Amino acid sequence: MYQSKISGLGHYVPENVVTNDQLAERIDTNDAWIQERTGIKERRHIVKGDGNSTSVMGVKAAKIAIERAGIEANDIGLIIFATLSPDMYFPGGGVQVQDMLEIDTCPALDVRNQCSGFVYALSTADQFVKTGMYEHVLVIGSEHHSGGLDFTDRGRSVSVIFGDGAGAAIVSRSESDGQGILSTHLHSEGKHKDELALQGPSTRYWVPQILKENPQENIPYFPYMNGQLVFKNAVVRFSEVIKEGLDANGLDVSDIDMLIPHQANLRISQFIQRKFGLRDDQVFNNIQKFGNTTAASIPIALTEAWEAGKIKKGDLVVLAAFGSGFTWGSVIIRW
């Protein structure tokens, strides 16, 4: 078995900043409510004509990660693309990225695990690198939420939370023993599949069928979220899976140098921080600036934390995610 490590990171967010006050001009909401419940002050939205899309943002993040890893695009053995908001129904974002990066042929795989997508993708990359099958795997999490949210009063409890952006990591074979990805733990519980979901368009809700049935009353084209149930499950599962990862490596909460939780809601991150007794400098949050960017949130946060010098060689870095499915997972890294 080989070791695997993150050898390069990058992120990209659209330039267009949308503040809570700007949202309040469109829907019945206000800055105080959004900040108090979620911690979010602003988020980024793609605007028509700016050239961005889920896969374009993914490519922009990937190019930075590739350069920082000191490799060429054609050194990549596998692309794993995590998103719930692909450019197209099919084919997936992985092959779109492959084309834009001008990689001749390599496998490209899409992961559909929503807010846990990046953790699932990173775990998959880790397995392929550890077995020796690939030397460098490109892992991307990217989301274009703003085009598909319900910006009417009906959708306000969901639409204020989500933002657009992308993050990428190169997972490479590591020479130094004990450095890199120590373990990954993944879970899901399908009985909650409908509690945070976007049902159509899909084979269950084909567009022609919906139009024929005149579904003005109940259009499933916007995400539905049972916010309180999500919150309650999130705080439990985040704690469990972080502990599971630490235990598997004989580590303790006090060993954590940096916890990067999926940026679901600042209140969830703060709950975990309090529960584990972590200091402010041991937990990284940037949801205030970007909202919840689902599969992109961890790689964006990881990149920002690394760029700011908050992650140093030898640090114990813990990534943890929870989201739709429900799905959740953790990654323990010795940097």
Ligand X SMILES: CC(C)(COP(=O)(O)OP(=O)(O)OC[C@H]1O[C@@H](n2cnc3c(N)ncnc32)[C@H](O)[C@@H]1OP(=O)(O)O)[C@@H](O)C(=O)NCCC(=O)NCCS
Asked if residues 118 and 320 have their Cβ atoms less than 8 Å apart, the reply is: no
Buried b (16+ CB within 10 A) or exposed e, 246-258: beeeebebeebbb
Closer to ligand X by Cβ: residue 7 or 113: 113
* Residue indicated by tokens 């490109």: 138
The closest of 214, 7, 248 to 125, measured between CA atoms, is 7
Of the candidate spans 67-75, 132-140, 209-217, 223-231, the one that interacts with ligand X by CB under 6 A turns out to be: 223-231
Closer to ligand X by Cβ: residue 231 or 335: 231
Site string for ligand X, 282-301 (x = CB under 6 A): ----------x---------
Q: How far is the CB of 61 from ligand X (least distance, A)?
A: 20
The closest of 257, 253, 233, 255 to 309, measured between CA atoms, is 257
137, 264, 295, 318: which one binds ligand X (CB under 6 A): 264
16, 37, 205, 275: which one binds ligand X (CB under 6 A): 37
Give yes or no for residue 185 binding ligand X (CB under 6 A): no
Paired with 61 in beta bridges are none
Asked if residues 327 and 188 have their Cβ atoms less than 8 Å apart, the reply is: yes
Asked if residues 174 and 3 have their Cβ atoms less than 8 Å apart, the reply is: yes
* Residue indicated by tokens 């402010």: 280
Closer to ligand X by Cβ: residue 73 or 272: 272
Of the candidate spans 90-98, 105-113, 198-206, 226-234, the one that interacts with ligand X by CB under 6 A turns out to be: 226-234
What Å distances lie between residue 272 and 58, 183, 193, 269, 303, CA to CA?
A: 29, 20, 24, 5, 21
Give yes or no for residue 151 binding ligand X (CB under 6 A): no
141, 167, 291, 323: which one binds ligand X (CB under 6 A): 323
Site string for ligand X, 55-94 (x = CB under 6 A): ----------------------------------------
Q: How far is the CB of 149 from ligand X (least distance, A)?
A: 11
Closer to ligand X by Cβ: residue 221 or 224: 224
User: How many positions of this chain bind ligand X (CB under 6 A)?
Assistant: 18
Rounded-to-integer distance, Cα 90 and Cα 169, Å: 24
Rounded to 5 degrees, φ, ψ at 194 are -90, 0
Rounded-to-integer distance, Cα 283 and Cα 302, Å: 11
Asked if residues 119 and 139 have their Cβ atoms less than 8 Å apart, the reply is: no
Relative to beta strand 136-143, strand 316-323 is unpaired
DSSP characters over 90-114: SS-HHHHHHHHTT--S--EEEE--G
Give yes or no for residue 41 binding ligand X (CB under 6 A): no
16, 19, 35, 157: which one binds ligand X (CB under 6 A): 157
CA 298 vs. chain centroid, Å, equals 5
Residue of closest CB approach to ligand X = 227
Of the candidate spans 129-137, 203-211, 224-232, 242-250, the one that interacts with ligand X by CB under 6 A turns out to be: 224-232
Of the candidate spans 43-51, 90-98, 264-272, 283-291, the one that interacts with ligand X by CB under 6 A turns out to be: 264-272
Of the candidate spans 59-67, 175-183, 222-230, 303-311, the one that interacts with ligand X by CB under 6 A turns out to be: 222-230
Residues that bind ligand X (CB under 6 A): 29, 33, 37-38, 115, 156-157, 160, 227-228, 230-231, 234, 264-265, 268, 292, 323
